[in-house]
Every structure is written in structure tokens, then in C-alpha cells.
């Protein structure tokens, strides 16, 4: 044996015989699938997890983060509400136990021959959908000074769209100076827009905040972008102690030319608490918000939006008449650093009758126990700044006719696998 495999091969074989979990055989494939998209050189993640040598020093921290389900970033409560999402990146219980076993047994490397081929990353990895058709950036970088108060600016860009197109997927994010770009919202402005004072930024398109992924609409649903539409970028810029040039990009994937999707999708902020009032040094402060669906609707996604004191966020459906209440989704360990869109699978997208009330419940921790709390002695109200609070969620949906609603409910029967609160 020794002559054939050498000493390390022999150790590896012994390890396998004992059923030992090794980096090369068991852990590296999980890191490739679930971690390396972010944890590799030159990204916004703090360290690379490509090789054994890079990963080994982080073993303890990795165990802690995966056990707490803080990494990979995916914070949907696994015990209540809908559990099937198109973009679920969470680890399975088995994967977590593999990582934990590996760390607990001293984080061995194992046989180098077991190491999977390195995963390749290319530019398209930067977007959370395949091949954008159009990428719109700011014509020039915004210079964020070293020190100043936060700024909110609007930049209007003409992407030169000569035909009407329907959007299939959309994502916006900083491409330069990302640490200084706290937040971006994009909207569409068109010369035909009604000239009302409430609509200065145009029709809401999409939003970015740290950790945000893409909005991908289901087949058959899209949003119209008319020829001649301009994109308004609203940026929230936050000085970082050194002068930082910042730029952002909006990536769009369209339906093929001439294709009109059947359903027109809307993304709306549900339950925004303008009346929010969070006392100093207090935990578990709750705020409720309500929106009524004017027509039958199919819900596509859920993206809670709270700030530093945000602790948890849930959305339930109160059916017309109030006889039935269904918990749809909860993020029970809300992390301000991660603004994730949770995209329901087709079979789980809630089908809700007209008159259903979407009930948003937000919880806040304004105590010193919240490590993200900049100042527990402050009374906190609603506001745009990170040190103020927000509440509620961005929810995407499309309306259905009564007939379509009936058909879709019928087609759904027996398919929906889980909604524990039902
Ligand atoms: C979407 C990008 C992304 C993915 C996927 C991701 N991470 Fe992270 N990770 C980050 C970022 C950004 C941070 C630093 C900010 C934070 O902690 O939220 C981080 C922090 C960490 C930390 C803490 C580092 C420290 O400074 O203490 C560990 C450990 C970690 N990640 C492990 C993992 C593991 C293991 C996986 C896969 C199972 C994973 N991450 C997947 C982006 C990601």
C-alpha cells in the first residue's frame, strides 16, 4: 500500500475507512455550490473559500455561521409559512451536519485527489440571471466625499430604447464604490407620464440595497418598458472616510421582441409604517401594516425591508371576511445587511381572492443588546436614513380576472405542498 499511495494517501484511506469527513471529498463541493459565488478574491465577501489553505483558518467561524443559518444569506423562517422558493440558496440539514462534523474532527484536508475541479466564474456570475439584454449605467461616476452627511440624488439616464419591450428579469447594483452606495431605487420616466407632483421619480422599477439579488418574473408575467423610457436612478450615498467614486448598473432581460406577456407584474411596498414610534432601550416593539388587494392576485415574491433595529418581519393573508388567516412568510432573524428577494415557486405562489388583506408585522430591537443598534437611547421614527426605521416589505404580484383566479385555484388543488399555518 505504502509504495503505491505514499504516506498521505495512506492516511486518507484510513480516514475514509473510518467514515471521516474531509475537506476535499465532502466540504469543498458544498463550498463550491453555496459559498464561492461570494467568497472568492475581489468580491465584497471578507475572505476567499476556494482552497483548503484559505478555508482552514475560518473553520470555527464557518461552523458557527452555518449552524446559526446566518451563512449562506437566506433568512426565511424554516418553521412557518411557504417553504419552496426558486432562488433558495440555503444549506440542507445534511450539508450543515457534514460541515459541523468536519470542523469537529479537526477540519482535515483529506486526499487531494478527491478535490473537485475548481468552479469557473465569469462575468455573467455577477448577475443573478442569464445574459442581460441591456445594461444601463450612470454616464459618469458620482464622487462620494470622504466626510459629509448622507446624500440622496436623482440621475436620469436615457437608455435609448426605440421599441416597447417587456421586462422578464431585472437587477440593479453598484459596480464601483459599493460600500458608499447604501441604496438605489430605479424608476421609469416617460414623456407620456401624467404630470402629477406625487410622481417626480416616475414608476417604481426596482430597488437595491446590500446583498440584494435579482427580481425574475415568472414565464408569462412581465413589466412594460415603453420606447423612449428614461431610467431614474435614486441613490443614497454614504461617505466612507475616503473619497470614493461610485457607479451603479441596471441590468434588464426582456421577453423576445413582439412578445406580450399575459400578466403585468407590479412590485409594491406593503405596510409602510409612517406612524412608527419605537421607544428607546426597548426590545420586541411591534408594528402592523395592512394593504387590501383590489382584485384577485397571484403573489410572486416577498422582500422585507427594515433598518438596523429590524428584528423580524412576517406577512400573513387575512382572507375576505376575516374567517381565515394564513401565515405566508416570515424572516424571523432579520439581517439589515441582506436585502433578499424570496421568490415563491410556481406551485406555492399564493393565490388570493379580491379583498384579501396583506398584513405585515414588523418587530424591532432598540435595546443595547442589538449589536447593530447605533444608539439605543434614541426614540426612533419612520425615515429614509439608516438610523431611522422602516417596515413592511416589497411584494411582487399580478392581478387576475375572476375567471383566471378560479381556474388557477382549481389547477392548484393537490399541488401545494406546505403551508403549515393553514
Ligand atoms: C451572497 C454572498 C455570500 C454567500 C453565498 C456566502 N457568504 Fe459568507 N459572507 C458574505 C459576506 C458579504 C460576509 C460579511 C458580512 C456578513 O457577515 O454578513 C460573509 C461573512 C461570512 C463569515 C464570517 C466572516 C467573519 O468575518 O467572521 C463566514 C464564516 C462565512 N461568511 C461563511 C460562509 C459560508 C460557509 C458560506 C456557504 C455555505 C457562505 N459564507 C456563503 C457573503 C456570502
* Atom 23 in ligand 1: residue holding the nearest Cα: 61
279 pLDDT higher than 60: yes
Rounded to an integer, the average pLDDT of 242-253 is 93
Look over the chain and give the mean of its residue pLDDT values, rounded to a whole number: 86
Rounded to an integer, the average pLDDT of 354-367 is 95
**Between residues 243 and 210, the one the model is more confident about:** 243
Q: Where are the beta strands (DSSP E) in 257-392?
A: 263-270, 277-278, 285-292, 297-304, 310-318, 325-331, 342-343, 351-352, 357-364, 380-381
395 and 274 co-located in one domain: yes
272 and 382 co-located in one domain: yes
132 and 233 co-located in one domain: yes
CA of 281 to the centre of ligand 1 (A): 30
* Atom 2 in ligand 1: residue holding the nearest Cα: 38
Q: Which atom of ligand 1 is nearest to the CA of 61?
A: 29
> For residue 201, is it within any domain?
yes
* Atom 15 in ligand 1: residue holding the nearest Cα: 45
| Per-residue model confidence (pLDDT) at position 251 | 94
> For residue 421, is it within any domain?
no
**Between residues 192 and 241, the one the model is more confident about:** 241
Nearest CA-CA partner of 50 in 58, 13, 91, 68: 58
> For residue 232, is it within any domain?
yes
| Per-residue model confidence (pLDDT) at position 419 | 44
> For residue 386, is it within any domain?
yes
* Atom 29 in ligand 1: residue holding the nearest Cα: 62
Q: For 366-380, how does the pLDDT look when each residue is reduced to its tens digit (9 = 90+)?
A: 999 998 888 999 999
C-alpha cell at 30: 458544498
| Per-residue model confidence (pLDDT) at position 406 | 96
Question: Which residues pair with residue 252 across a beta bridge?
Answer: 134, 170
* Atom 13 in ligand 1: residue holding the nearest Cα: 45
235 and 271 co-located in one domain: no
Q: Where are the beta strands (DSSP E) in 19-161?
A: 134-137, 142-144, 151-157
Tell which of 235, 261, 287 closes a domain: 261
Q: Which atom of ligand 1 is nearest to the CA of 95?
A: 38
152 and 91 co-located in one domain: no
C-alpha cell at 357: 388583506
pLDDT bucket at 307, cuts 50 / 70 / 90: confident
168 and 224 co-located in one domain: yes
247 and 270 co-located in one domain: no
CATH number for the domain including 204? Answer: 2.60.120.230
How crowded is residue 147: how many other Cβ atoms within 10 Å of its Cβ?
A: 9
271 and 305 co-located in one domain: yes
Q: Which domain holds residue 330?
A: 265-412
* Cα–Cα dist 17/8, whole Å: 14
* Atom 1 in ligand 1: residue holding the nearest Cα: 38
Which of the listed residues 35, 50, 87 should we mutate to test ligand 1's pocket, taking the one with most ligand atoms within 8 A of CB?
35
> For residue 166, is it within any domain?
yes
Tell which of 244, 261, 278 closes a domain: 261
Tell which of 261, 278, 297 closes a domain: 261
334 pLDDT higher than 80: yes
For the chain, the domain total comes to 3
pLDDT bucket at 44, cuts 50 / 70 / 90: low
Nearest CA-CA partner of 295 in 194, 385, 403: 403
CA of 44 to the centre of ligand 1 (A): 10
**Residues lining ligand 1, Cβ inside 6 A:** 34-35, 37-39, 44-46, 58, 61-62, 65-66, 71-73, 91, 337
303 pLDDT higher than 50: yes
> For residue 98, is it within any domain?
yes
| Per-residue model confidence (pLDDT) at position 422 | 38
339 pLDDT higher than 50: yes
CA of 33 to the centre of ligand 1 (A): 13
396 and 280 co-located in one domain: yes
Which of the listed residues 28, 29, 39 should we mutate to test ligand 1's pocket, taking the one with most ligand atoms within 8 A of CB?
39
> For residue 116, is it within any domain?
no
| Per-residue model confidence (pLDDT) at position 268 | 81
Report yes or no: 300 and 397 within 8 Å, Cβ to Cβ: yes
| Per-residue model confidence (pLDDT) at position 255 | 95
418 pLDDT higher than 70: no
DSSP assignment letter at 59: H
Which of 12-16, 25-29, 267-271 has maximum average pLDDT? 25-29
CA of 62 to the centre of ligand 1 (A): 8
Rounded to an integer, the average pLDDT of 381-408 is 87
Q: How many residues does the chain have?
A: 422
Rounded to an integer, the average pLDDT of 146-152 is 84
4 pLDDT higher than 60: no
| Per-residue model confidence (pLDDT) at position 195 | 57
Report yes or no: 304 and 369 within 8 Å, Cβ to Cβ: no
Q: Which atom of ligand 1 is nearest to the CA of 64?
A: 29
Q: Which atom of ligand 1 is nearest to the CA of 210?
A: 12
52 and 191 co-located in one domain: no
Low-confidence winner among 51-55, 141-145, 194-198, 228-232 (lowest mean pLDDT) = 194-198
185 and 64 co-located in one domain: no
226 and 319 co-located in one domain: no
* Cα–Cα dist 179/45, whole Å: 12
> For residue 119, is it within any domain?
no
Helix then strand count (H, E) for the chain reads 6, 21
Q: Which atom of ligand 1 is nearest to the CA of 58?
A: 29
Amino acid at each position: 500500500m505504502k509504495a503505491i499511495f505514499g504516506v498521505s494517501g495512506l492516511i486518507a484511506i484510513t480516514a475514509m475507512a473510518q467514515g471521516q469527513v474531509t475537506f476535499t471529498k465532502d466540504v469543498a463541493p458544498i463550498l463550491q455550490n453555496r459559498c464561492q459565488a461570494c467568497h472568492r478574491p475581489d468580491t465584497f465577501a471578507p475572505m476567499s473559500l476556494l482552497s483548503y489553505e484559505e478555508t482552514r483558518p475560518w473553520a470555527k467561524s464557518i461552523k458557527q455561521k452555518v449552524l446559526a443559518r446566518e451563512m449562506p444569506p437566506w433568512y426565511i423562517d424554516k418553521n412557518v409559512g411557504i417553504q419552496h422558493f426558486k432562488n433558495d440558496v440555503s444549506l440542507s440539514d445534511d450539508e450543515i451536519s457534514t460541515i459541523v462534523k468536519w470542523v469537529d474532527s479537526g477540519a482535515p484536508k483529506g486526499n487531494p485527489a478527491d478535490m473537485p475541479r475548481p468552479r469557473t466564474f465569469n462575468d455573467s456570475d455577477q448577475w443573478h440571471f442569464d445574459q442581460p439584454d441591456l445594461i444601463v449605467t450612470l454616464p459618469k461616476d458620482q464622487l462620494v466625499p470622504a466626510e459629509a452627511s448622507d446624500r440622496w440624488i436623482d440621475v436620469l439616464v436615457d437608455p435609448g430604447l426605440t421599441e416597447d419591450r417587456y421586462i422578464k428579469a431585472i437587477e440593479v447594483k453598484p459596480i464601483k464604490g459599493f460600500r458608499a452606495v447604501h441604496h438605489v431605487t430605479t424608476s421609469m420616466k416617460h414623456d407620456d407620464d401624467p404630470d402629477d407632483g406625487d410622481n417626480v421619480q416616475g414608476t417604481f422599477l426596482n430597488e437595491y440595497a446590500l446583498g440584494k439579488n435579482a427580481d425574475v418574473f415568472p414565464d408569462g408575467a412581465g413589466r412594460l418598458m415603453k420606447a423612449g423610457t428614461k431610467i431614474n436612478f435614486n441613490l443614497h450615498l454614504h461617505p466612507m472616510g475616503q473619497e470614493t467614486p461610485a457607479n451603479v448598473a441596471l441590468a434588464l432581460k426582456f421577453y423576445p421582441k413582439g412578445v406580450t406577456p399575459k400578466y403585468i407584474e407590479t412590485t409594491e411596498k406593503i405596510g409602510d409604517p409612517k406612524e412608527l414610534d419605537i421607544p428607546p432601550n426597548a426590545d420586541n416593539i411591534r408594528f402592523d401594516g395592512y394593504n387590501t388587494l383590489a382584485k384577485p392576485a397571484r403573489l410572486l415574491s416577498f422582500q422585507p425591508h427594515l433598518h438596523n433595529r429590524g428584528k423580524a418581519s412576517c406577512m400573513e393573508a387575512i382572507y375576505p371576511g376575516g374567517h381565515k388567516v394564513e401565515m405566508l412568510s416570515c424572516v424571523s432573524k432579520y439581517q439589515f445587511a441582506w436585502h433578499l428577494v424570496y421568490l415563491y415557486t410556481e406551485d406555492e405562489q399564493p393565490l388570493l381572492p379580491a379583498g384579501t388583506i396583506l398584513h405585515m408585522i414588523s418587530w424591532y430591537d432598540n435595546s443595547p443588546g442589538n449589536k447593530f443598534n447605533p444608539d439605543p437611547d434614541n426614540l426612533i421614527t419612520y425615515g429614509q436614513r439608516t438610523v431611522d426605521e422602516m417596515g413592511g416589505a416589497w411584494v411582487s404580484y399580478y392581478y387576475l380576472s375572476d375567471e383566471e383566479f378560479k381556474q388557477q385555484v382549481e389547477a392548484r388543488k393537490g399541488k401545494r405542498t406546505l403551508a403549515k399555518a393553514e
